[in-house]
Amino acid sequence: MRALVWHGANDIRCDTVPDPKIEHPRDAIVKVTTCAICGSDLHLHDNFMPGMEKGDIVGHEFMGEVMEVGAEAKSALKIGERVVVPFTIWCGDCDQCKRGNYSVCERSNRNKALADKVFGHTTAGLFGYTHLTGGYAGGQAEYVRVPMADRTHIKIPGGLTDEQVLFLGDIFPTGWQAAAQCDIQPTDTVAIWGCGPVGQMTIRSAILLGAKQVIAIDRVPERLAMAKAGGAITINFEEESVVERLNELTGGKGPEKCIDAVGMEAHATATIDSMMDRAKQALMLESDRAHVLREMIYVCRPAGTLSIPGVYGGLIDKMPFGMAMNKGLTWRMGQTHVNRWTDDLLNRIQEGQIDPSFVITHTVPLDQGPEMYKTFRDKRDGCIKVVLKP
Amino acid sequence: MAYYNRSSTGDNLARGLGWFSVGLGVAELMAGRTIARWMGMEDKTNLIRAYGVREITAGVGLLALGDPKPWIWSRIAGDAVDMATLAAGMENNPRAGNAGIAFGAVMAATALDIVCVQKLHQEEAYYRSLPVPDYSDRSGFPRPVSAMRGAASDAPIGEDMRTPKILRFQPAQSQTAQNQIAQNQTATS
Ligand SMILES: NC(=O)c1ccc[n+]([C@@H]2O[C@H](COP(=O)([O-])OP(=O)(O)OC[C@H]3O[C@@H](n4cnc5c(N)ncnc54)[C@H](O)[C@@H]3O)[C@@H](O)[C@H]2O)c1
Ligand SMILES: [Zn+2]
Ligand SMILES: [Zn+2]
């Protein structure tokens, strides 16, 4: 089959690889009809995430048709059913899964020993996302093996297009959880850094959950325009001071809720901290650039909440922790517990409350994937979200 | 926004110059005295080491994944400083010939820097000339935003995702009033 394969920094190729096979009775094989490139994939492409190996198939936002089902998954899944696959693999039986904390499932990471060493304790297995989270083959491919398939799926009823439901596997619940874990009150100002696909979903979620005011921060004009369409007041951080504008918009008090939808590749205008971050990242003295986190800690209203869906991979430097501690901030973060939210979100899509396909700007065949990684990363050609058709 | 494409011709040249900067900088820093002696400018050893630090900074800046233009401009400014230092050092210098060779090398590097920065600015101008697509109609909502605000405030969100009541920013209520409410709630439930 054809699949997008990681070969190193800046080097993802469309290769011919062996078809996946059922390896365990709980597995299923899904024929991918539509998949997408996620901002998290860019961290792999740019080689900022440790734990990738040459030959790994990437991609974790995908959907398709069930082709084959292992004996133990048969009661939950039938051949021919249409499913979106969540990027977090979950067992459903461990203590964490029972509490709905699927992204920290204790059993789905087959490289548990390695993850236990690196993270202290393992987190869930993820598709196409480093050997620290299981090294499972990803979904930017014609076929995928889905482990623990009796749990790891979202069934899609007829009458909805792939484009409407695809993002249930990742960015829609990610934006939703980012907003939900802020426990938004009708009096809250929610400030969101990053107007990429995750930021866009977060903006819509914050509006639906009833925020008084949603403020979105980025520097890419067309992304800011899309943020505004979704109900946000926008700040272009290359043209205005984020701190001053946020204070203006909140009567000098600061936003109650701050969300980092940027992650470890944050850009910044030439501030000292951001120059130091770039230099250190290049010299491998730190792995992540923390400009957005520092800004959030600084502007957040005391006793407010920081919510962090943006992905970080390792070490950050110059964290103003004293400021965070003294302001009594609450931190909420993590990979998304996808299936915890998808029944409700699928309902909302069906009822027409939201159509997540608004974010798609590019649809191309799978073999154009490697170029599209670059277009998406460099934000060329108005690119916000890329959908691939195997 | 600053436009750059981390795989264009201009960018590849910039990255090459980045490696060159790092190499030269390390040499200046480690072998500052040898270089200074060779050019007959031993009194400038510390200055040359400082230039080494400057080169390394520019090199790292170029190799990091950002806009290379400011770093190339900083290299050009650095080249000018180098040339001024060398020109001043050539007077009454028995090894002025060697200093002259160094001067030539800096000039060649400057020429490359200028080609590179021109290329980068051309590329930026090209990206800027492309039309910005209009996404102002992509709300994702079926109705105007004002009608959607709070439409999902009934969403099932588990208690573990909630902030403790006392930390919510509700219209100002005194701590005792909030305690009173909490007590009443436990009494009635
Ligand atoms: N928690 C999860 O489960 C989960 C799931 C999906 C994605 N993610 C993460 O979410 C993040 C965003 O993903 P995406 O798909 O939207 O990617 P993206 O790269 O398209 O979006 C990032 C956006 O942030 C903007 N940005 C950069 N620096 C900024 C700054 N200093 N201030 C404000 N904005 C800035 C960029 O211009 C860009 O538009 C990534 O880190 C991704 O890994 C997390
Ligand atoms: Zn993702
Ligand atoms: Zn589990």
| A224 C-beta neighbours (distance < 10 Å), count | 20
**pLDDT category of residue A288 using cuts at 50, 70 and 90:** low
Is residue A357 within 8 A of residue B139, CB to CB? The reply is: no
Q: Which residue has the higher pLDDT, B44 or A88?
A: A88
Q: What is the C-alpha separation between A352 and B141, in angstroms, rounded? A: 8
* pLDDT for position B170: 66
Beta-carbon separation of B161 and A352 below 8 A: no
- What are the contacts of A277-280 at 24+ separation with CB within 8 A? A277/A317, A278/B60, A278/B61, A278/B64, A278/B65, A278/B66, A279/B57, A279/B60, A279/B61, A279/B64, A280/A317
Relative to the CA of A338, which ligand 1 atom is closest?
A: 3
Beta-carbon separation of B132 and A340 below 8 A: no
Q: Residue A384: how many CA atoms within 13 Å on its side-chain side?
A: 29
* pLDDT for position B26: 93
Average pLDDT over every residue of A276-296: 71
Surface of B (36-95) touching A: CB under 8 A: 57, 60-61, 63-66, 70
Beta-carbon separation of B60 and A301 below 8 A: no
Is residue A292 within 8 A of residue A240, CB to CB? The reply is: no
**pLDDT category of residue B168 using cuts at 50, 70 and 90:** confident
Q: Which residues of A touch B136 (CB under 8 A)?
A: 225-226, 228-229
* pLDDT for position A249: 97
Answer yes or no: is pLDDT of A188 > 70.
Answer: yes
Does residue B161 belong to any structural domain of this protein? no
Mean residue pLDDT of chain B comes to: 86
* pLDDT for position A313: 82
Cα A244 to ligand 2 centroid, rounded to whole Å: 32
Q: Which residues of B touch A279 (CB under 8 A)?
A: 57, 60-61, 64
* pLDDT for position A316: 83
| Residue carrying the six token digits 């058709």 | A389
Domain boundaries A172-333, corresponding CATH code: 3.40.50.720
* pLDDT for position A276: 65
* pLDDT for position A264: 86
* pLDDT for position A262: 94
Beta-carbon separation of A282 and B64 below 8 A: yes
Q: What is the C-alpha separation between A198 and A170, in angstroms, rounded? A: 9
Chain A residue with CA closest to B127: the answer is A380
| C-alpha closest to that of A27 among A164, A181, A163, A136 | A136
Give B181's contacts (C-beta < 8 A, 6+ positions apart). Answer: B173
| CATH architecture of structural domain A2-170+336-389 | Alpha-Beta Complex (3.90)
A323: enclosing H helix or E strand: helix A321-327
Q: What is the C-alpha separation between A88 and A123, in angstroms, rounded? A: 10
Å from B11 to nearest chain A CA?
Answer: 13
Cα B122 to ligand 1 centroid, rounded to whole Å: 28
* pLDDT for position B180: 64
* pLDDT for position A203: 98
Q: Which residues of A touch B74 (CB under 8 A)?
A: none
Å from B50 to nearest chain A CA?
Answer: 18
Domain count, chain B: 1
b/e per residue A230-257 (b: at least 16 CB within 10 A) = bbbebbbbeeeebeebbeebbeeebbbb
Cβ–ligand 1 contact at A177 (below 6 Å): no
* pLDDT for position B175: 57
Class of residue A3 by CB neighbours under 10 A (exposed 0-12, middle 13-18, buried 19+): buried
Secondary structure (H, E, C), chain B: CCCCCCCCHHHHHHHHHHHHHHHHHHHHHHCHHHHHHHCCCHHHHHHHHHHHHHHHHHHHHHHCCCCCHHHHHHHHHHHHHHHHHHHHHCCCCCCHHHHHHHHHHHHHHHHHHHHHHHHHHHHHHHHHHCCCCCCCCCCCCCCCHHHHCCCCCCCCCCHHHCCCHHHCCCCCCCHHHHHHHHHHHHHHC
Enclosing domain of residue B112 = 9-129
Q: Which of A46-55, A65-74, A193-202, A265-274 bottoms out in mean pLDDT, i.e. has the lowest?
A: A265-274
* pLDDT for position B173: 54
pTM: 0.84
Beta-carbon separation of A230 and B141 below 8 A: yes
Q: Which residue has the higher pLDDT, B184 or A8?
A: A8
Beta-carbon separation of B138 and A186 below 8 A: no
Average pLDDT over every residue of A126-152: 96
Q: Which residues of B touch A188 (CB under 8 A)?
A: 169
Beta-carbon separation of B140 and A355 below 8 A: yes
**pLDDT category of residue B178 using cuts at 50, 70 and 90:** low
**pLDDT category of residue B163 using cuts at 50, 70 and 90:** confident
Å from A98 to nearest chain B CA?
Answer: 13
Q: Which of A24-33, A155-164, B177-186 bottoms out in mean pLDDT, i.e. has the lowest?
A: B177-186
Residue nearest to atom 14 of ligand 1 (CA): A39
* pLDDT for position B123: 87
**pLDDT category of residue A266 using cuts at 50, 70 and 90:** confident
Give A133's contacts (C-beta < 8 A, 6+ positions apart). Answer: A51, A109, A111, A115, A123, A124, A125, A126
Cβ–ligand 1 contact at A70 (below 6 Å): no
**pLDDT category of residue B11 using cuts at 50, 70 and 90:** confident
Q: Residue A94: how many CA atoms within 13 Å on its side-chain side?
A: 19
Of A58, A222, A242, A262, which is best to mutate to test ligand 1, by the most ligand atoms within 8 angstroms of its C-beta?
Answer: A262
Answer yes or no: is pLDDT of B166 > 60.
Answer: yes
Among A268-282, A351-365, B47-61, B162-176, which range has the highest average pLDDT?
A351-365
Cβ–ligand 1 contact at A194 (below 6 Å): yes
Q: Which of A131-145, A152-166, A325-339, B152-166 bottoms out in mean pLDDT, i.e. has the lowest?
A: B152-166
Beta-carbon separation of A278 and B1 below 8 A: no
E strands, A178-272, where?
189-193, 213-218, 233-236, 257-260
Relative to the CA of A38, which ligand 1 atom is closest?
A: 15
The DSSP string of A337-388 is -HHHHHHHHHHHHHHTS--GGGG--EEEEGGGHHHHHHHHHTT-TT-S-EEE
A208: enclosing H helix or E strand: helix A197-208
Cβ–ligand 1 contact at A374 (below 6 Å): no
Average pLDDT over every residue of A361-380: 94
Q: What's phi and psi for A383, nearest 5 deg?
A: -70, 125
Does residue B140 belong to any structural domain of this protein? no
Does residue B29 belong to any structural domain of this protein? yes
* pLDDT for position B65: 64
B163 in reach of chain A (CB within 8 A)? yes
Beta-carbon separation of B161 and A220 below 8 A: no
Longest Cα–Cα distance of chain B, Å, equals 99
* pLDDT for position A38: 96
Average pLDDT over every residue of B4-31: 88
Chain B residue with CA closest to A376: the answer is B5
Q: What is the C-alpha separation between A3 and A17, in angstroms, rounded? A: 7
Mean residue pLDDT of chain A comes to: 93
Chain B residue with CA closest to A378: the answer is B5
Answer yes or no: is pLDDT of A28 > 60.
Answer: yes
Tell me which amino acid residue A300 is: C
Does residue B142 belong to any structural domain of this protein? no
Answer yes or no: is pLDDT of A269 > 80.
Answer: no
Report the interhelical angle of A221-229 vs A197-208 (nearest 10°).
20
Chain A residue with CA closest to B56: the answer is A279
Does residue B163 belong to any structural domain of this protein? no
| B160 C-beta neighbours (distance < 10 Å), count | 10
* pLDDT for position A101: 96
Q: Which residues of A touch B151 (CB under 8 A)?
A: 208, 353
Cα B105 to ligand 1 centroid, rounded to whole Å: 43
Residue spans of the domains in chain A: they are 2-170+336-389, 172-333
Q: Which residue has the higher pLDDT, B9 or A324?
A: A324
Q: Which of A185, A229, A281 sits opposite B139 (nearest CB)?
A: A229
* pLDDT for position A4: 97
Average pLDDT over every residue of A111-135: 94
Cα A95 to ligand 2 centroid, rounded to whole Å: 24
pLDDT tens figures, A88-122: 999 999 999 999 999 999 999 999 999 999 999 99
b/e per residue A311-333 (b: at least 16 CB within 10 A) = bbbeebeeebeeebeebebbebe
pLDDT tens figures, B88-128: 888 888 888 988 999 999 999 999 999 999 999 988 888 77
